[in-house]
A and B are shown apart, each in its own frame.
Chain A
């Protein structure tokens, strides 16, 4: 059964244009997407196509104007304990140590102090940062901060993980390491992940399926199955299959020539 069913979702913002006159900007229109239970789905599209808007709607941070979104067959709730989000900018609390940052989601759930600490310890070990549990976020590198943010959302144990270009701000090598690490963790418990990215390579490497979006207004144009074996490791990047899929996707994208440029942002 589908974890998320989005049907004909529409989202428009009222903005003021250069002349100061109010205008409607339609970000999502006829947006439909099913996300299956336990799948890793990437939402790929150029900047400004509405990927993050859809993710924010799912996270309860934004509303939609028309259409229907079902979570486990029920209408989407604004407040829920079943989802967690990882932002590009880490969103760690600067006044809390690493371990206390991991506990915030569990505090929201109302879990007791001892149990919180136990769960947080488990996940901080999972991302290999046990030695840094008493450091503050500003003392860590970007890659370590994003590890903490991932550990925090995992410790919260949501059914649905939302990731908004989580690795986009990291350098190439750290990014590749974290991609593989996230896959390793995900392959052990297979939580549903919606992964927003504008990197084709990242989408192919990580996903079961890749959903392509076009912009203005944003909607899904194509959904591609990625038939690479799991567990996936570092080597898969250099495999013939990977190269073939990549070539196919690029070919497909050539058709939508107008938007091609912005896909090349980073690969």
Chain B
């Protein structure tokens, strides 16, 4: 009983900022601080959300965005982890590629979008590639850093007992790097959600990013904000899933 009360209080205290923000948001257009045609109050936004959910529109756009994010993230995670392991393990390879990859990491996926469109057209492929590019570098660079940071004492200990290179790689280096690999994937996940919006705002006819831009163009302000909220929920949901996976696989870590 006391525990439940404590939990409710805890949730409340953590939500104060959010509640104040929503209250301010509601007040601003209603009291005429901001023109209501630009800033729809949250009550109307949530009503729009409700209506769109009822029409199945929201779910359809959200699912399409989610599908793009997951596809991009899966491909970039697999590629990033494999390449990162390889690069982190072989020091000369790391030396040759490090500067190049640091430069790639700084190269915004948004800036490269026109290049991807030129190379791969306006279809689904260039959308996946922008998401892939945005999330690849954090995964790759975190993975290679994790491999490089593996404690040499642990490696030496196994080596002195006659462990093979493969054994050391799989049983020592890989688990050592796991926390950093997951940090990279989680970072990549949030970049994916950002990149999907940009991808869907150019030459797309579906997805939450498209919904936001289309609502703005047709002056349907409440639906525009509904789309933005949908994107926030997508981001939070993805982060929660990735965080749970991370916790599951690195539960041994000291808190």
Q: How far is the CB of B160 from chain A (nearest CB, A)?
A: 4
The answer, among A61, A94, A107, for a CB contact under 8 Å with B160, is A61
Q: Is the C-beta of A91 less than 8 angstroms from some C-beta in chain B?
A: yes
Instruction: Decide: A108 near B178, CB < 8 A? Known: A87-B153, A89-B153, A95-B252.
Output: no
Per-position 1/0 for A14-35, Cβ under 8 A of B: 0000000000000000000000
Binds B, one of A77-85, A169-177, A195-203, A252-260: A77-85
The answer to whether residues A108 and B153 also contact, given A60-B159, A81-B161, A95-B252 and a CB cut-off of 8 A, is: no
Interface readout for A136-148 with B: 1 if CB under 8 Å, 0 if not?
1011000000000
A93 within 8 A of B: yes
B171 A59 Cβ-Cβ under 8 A: no
A59 lies within 8 A of B160 (CB): yes
Nearest CB in chain B: distance from A157 CB, A: 11
Q: Are A85 and B160 in contact (CB under 8 A)?
A: yes
Contact of B50 with A by CB under 8 A: no
| CA–CA, A84 and B159, complex, Å | 9
Task: Determine if B156 and A107 form an interchain contact, defined as CB atoms under 8 angstroms apart.
Answer: no
| Total contacting residues, chain A, CB less than 8 A | 29
Does B154 lie within 8 Å of A91, measured CB to CB?
Answer: yes
Min CB–CB distance B150 → chain A (angstroms)? 11
Bound form: Cα–Cα A188–B207 in Å: 72
What residues of A have a CB within 8 angstroms of the CB of B156 in the complex? 56, 59, 61, 85, 87, 91
Does chain B have a CB within 8 A of A104?
yes
Chain A CB within 8 A of B28 CB: no
**Least distance between A252 CB and chain B CB atoms (Å):** 33
In chain A, what residue has the closest Cβ to B162? A81
Do A91 and B175 touch (CB < 8 A)? no
- The answer to whether A107 touches B157 (Cβ under 8 A) is no
Chain A 90-122, CB-CB to B under 8 Å as 1, else 0, gives 010111100000001101110000000000000
**Interface mask (B122-149 → A, CB under 8 Å = 1, otherwise 0):** 0000000000000000000000000000
CB contact list, A12-69 vs B, under 8 A: 56, 59-61
Q: Which residues of B contact A79 (CB under 8 A)?
A: 162
Decide: A80 and B162 in contact? CB cutoff 8 A: yes
Residues of chain A contacted by B160 (CB below 8 angstroms): 59-61, 83-85, 162
How many Å from the CB of B179 to the closest CB on chain A? 9
Say whether, besides A61-B159, A81-B161, A108-B161, A138 and B254 are in contact (CB < 8 Å).
yes
Other 20 A-B pairs with CB < 8 A, given A60-B160, A80-B162, A107-B171: A59-B156, A59-B159, A60-B159, A83-B160, A84-B160, A84-B161, A85-B161, A93-B154, A93-B175, A94-B252, A95-B178, A95-B250, A104-B158, A105-B161, A107-B167, A108-B158, A108-B163, A136-B252, A136-B254, A158-B161
Residues of B near any A CB (own CB < 8 A) = 151, 153-154, 156-163, 167, 171-172, 175-176, 178, 250, 252-254
